[in-house]
Structure 1
Amino acid sequence: MSDLTLIVAGDPQQLTGGYLYDARIVEALRRQGWAVSVVGLEGRFPEPDAVASHALDSALTGLADGDRVVIDGLAMGGLPAIVERHAARLSITALLHHPLCDETGLGEPERARFRISETRALAAVERVIVTSVYTARRLADFDVPASKIAVIEPGVIRGELAHGDLDPPRLLCVATLTPRKGQDVLVEALAGLTHLPWQCDLIGALDRAPDYAAQVQAAIARHGLEARIRLLGAQPSAALSEHYRNATLFVLPSHYEGYGMVITEALAHGLPVVTTTGGALAHTLPEQAGIKVAPGDSAALGEALATLLSEPEHYRRCRDGARALRDTLGDWDNAARAFAAALTRETA
């Protein structure tokens, strides 16, 4: 018998921030004695099809009255009627990385539809766990009372210090290729910096938004940057750690993040960061560890990159700031203890 069932959309082993958060919380809870079952739902998400609807309903139907279940927001937000159907007999917690309607590239009808369905689903659950203070505040727009919300920020696994330097600089961006992540903006920024001696690796799944991935690849070719920007796809943990160790500078050009786990992963390797102020990113990156610019502004992003690539003193200050922060970052065991406390606390 499980102490907890976690339900996610699709394969739980996906190498993206939300899925990695879920997996690392589960691993830490298990180390702390929790019996956790993980269920990956078949079907299409977040715009659910009949297969997805049946999969969530079946997963919840299979649980006994009073069982504790956490449903990832990607699996839950588009299926409020099913959540409502089971809410009275189960202890349901929503795990929300960011609202579905905040995804970049949605039309207004899609945003409105997600906002309505997610508001209904969040009203039905017993409690809500979010990964940032920013997202907790955002949920006021979904009529979620503060007493129902717990903020559990991600932990980190402290890695070996990065040993890349400015001769030549190696830029690293770790993010699934989707419009929200802004790799097209990064390519445009780098196209204006060809006079500087950099290389850039883009790591992240290429199949989540194939049309966008093709757009990014076409932009790289249009600017003649094929020899300088590599699209490497998703990478396993060991290979990804090696990329962090070899990097000089981390870049995340996202339009919006509900937290931005890769920022703290970069800091855990002592890497300075250039990112945006999109969503929670304005708070995730401390000022002393890098530069933040407005999202979607390729000129500002290019200027920030040029500053760190061409001014060694500025680069060293940000690198030293990142290294000083390493020991202040929370680990996954502490995050899991806070997660467990949130699951068991009484709500108003």
Structure 2
Amino acid sequence: MDSGVKTQQLIFVYPGDLATPTGGYAYDRRIIHGLTQLGWQVELLSLGDGFPYPSQEVITSARQLLLHLKPGIPIVMDGLALGVLPEIVAELSLSHCVIALIHHPLAFETGISTDQAAAFKASEALALSCVKQVVVNSPTTAKQVSQFLGVQSGNIELILPGTDRQAIKNRSEEVFKQSDGRLHLLSVGSVIHRKGFDVLLEALYPLIALPWMLSIAGDITRDPFAYQQLEKNIVRFGLQDRVRVLGAVTEEHLENLYCQADVFVLASRFEGYGMAYAEAIARGIPVIGTNAGAIADTVPANAGLLVPPDDVRSLTIALQRMIQDEECRLALSQGASEVAALQTTWEDSSKRFSEVLSRFVGC
């Protein structure tokens, strides 16, 4: 029997493979899962590979896919694709309510030329001028989207990434933790220029006499040059017995790495939010990071030590302090646990996203 309740439908558009192990894709996956749990019928649509540098063939295919979507259903489009398809977004917006999901402005990616950054800025600003709503993941990204890309603040909704409270419980329960007399450092992130692994190894080299071990978990295929540089630096600094490059790992493996970690460290040159930092804090792990982008919002002073990006000496000092000063580690671990209790959950984030989308049902 017809209950009279209209099914809430949504089309979620993204580039590449939704299973890609990055923070942005993880955000997408968790929001999609949360919306499904809340009763949304979510249609997934991948626009293909190569973003944010799609081939003409991919662009042509994306246009056909998008412009043949059924009208009347809101479309959420990940900014990694939306930002480089302004003409298609403009045409699509004539028949659909398009909601942009921005993890960070494309022009803020590090390691790109000035000309490429300018092209990204112009393209993304044009695309965003056509959408009904912009969803961002941090106050820093909200500010950048407004001031840098010209979006009116009234059209921006902040929906923070969540964490799993269960992770905190798992951390506090008795877990078998291997002990080999060394401090276990964990770094989670794709091996790309922006994540600063070159800086991290250079900062660790002067501390080779101290007892530490570093595990790096993250995709090694996205930036071949950065990965080659990482492997060369491991040999150059004689760290073959100190640094493990694990590549992309399963969620179960990653959880085990967090459980074994004494300190989380990531020397990012920029983050739109920094989900890996937040995940470490959720587990009560003290953090070493930089103050670039939104990281200072994600890592409060009582949960970690932050240094300027690309500042090798300051990072070495922070690492040395964390490795040698047990009181410092314990205090920051306690601080991280206190921050974790206040973190947004994925259920909270999904409910907020649902509220935003509800405005556009049937548009």
What are the ranges of 5 or more consecutive residues in structure 2 without an aligned counterpart? 1-6
Residue identity in the other structure for 2:171 = L
SS in 1 for 2:61: helix
Contact 1:44 1:51 in 2 (8 A): no
Instruction: State the partner residue of 1:119.
Output: 125
CA contact (8 A) 1:166 1:309 kept: no
1:35 matches 2:45: no
Q: Alpha carbons of 1:127 and 1:95: their partners in 2 closer, same or farther (altered >3 Å)?
A: same
User: Residue 155 of structure 2 corresponds to which residue in structure 1?
Assistant: 148
Q: Supply the AA of the counterpart residue of 1:317.
A: A
Aligned-partner Cα distance in 2 for 1:174–1:120: 33
Letter in 2 for 1:265: E
Distance 1:66 1:116 in 2: 29
Q: Which moved more, 1:228-237 or 1:53-62?
A: 53-62
Secondary structure class of the residue paired with 2:18: coil
Q: How far apart in 1 are the matches of 2:84 and 2:212?
A: 43
What does 1:1-348 align with in structure 2 at a 5 Å threshold?
3-139=9-145, 140-158=147-165, 159=167, 160-161=170-171, 167-345=181-359
Asked if the contact 1:252/1:274 (under 8 Å) is kept, the reply is yes
Structure 1 unpaired stretches of 5+: none
Q: Does the 8 A contact of 2:270 with 2:292 survive in 1?
A: yes
In structure 2, C-alpha distance between the alignment counterparts of 1:249 and 1:202, rounded to whole Å: 12
Contact 1:255–1:276 (8 Å) recurs in 2: yes
Distance in 2 between the 1:283 and 1:193 partners? 29
Alignment check: 8 A CA contact 2:8 2:39 kept: no
Q: State the Cα distance separating 1:107 from its structure 2 match.
A: 0.6
For 1:324 and 1:129, locate their aligned partners in 2 and report how far apart those are by CA, in whole Å: 28
Q: Deviations over 1:191-234 (max 9, x none)?
A: 11111100000110000001110001101110000110011001
Deviation at 1:166, TM superposition (A): 9.6
Show CA shifts across 1:118-143 (max 9, x none).
00000011110000000000112111
Calculate the TM-score normalised by the size of structure 1. Answer: 0.96
Cα deviation, residue 47, structure 1:
1.7
Task: Return the TM-score normalized by structure 2.
Answer: 0.92
Find the residue that maps to 2:302 and give its secondary structure: helix
Equivalent position amino acid for 1:16 in 2: T
The CA distance in 2 between the partners of 1:321 and 1:167, in whole Å, is 24
What's the offset of the Cα at 1:2? 6.7
Alpha carbons 2:14, 2:78 under 8 Å: kept: yes
Q: Report the Cα distance in structure 2 between the residues aligned to 1:226 and 1:25, rounded to whole angstroms.
A: 39
Deviating beyond 3 angstroms after TM superposition, the runs of 4 or more aligned structure 1 residues are: 162-167
Return the offset for 1:65: 1.9
Q: Mark the CA change 1:166 to 1:129 in structure 2 (over 3 Å): closer, same or farther.
A: farther
The percentage of aligned residue pairs carrying the same residue is 37
Distance 1:156 1:51 in 2: 38
C-alpha RMSD of matched pairs (Å)? 1.5
Give the distance between the partners of 1:71 and 1:300, measured in 2 at CA.
39
Q: CA deviation at 1:161?
A: 1.3
Amino acid at match of 1:248: D
1:110 Cα shift?
0.3
SS in 1 for 2:43: strand
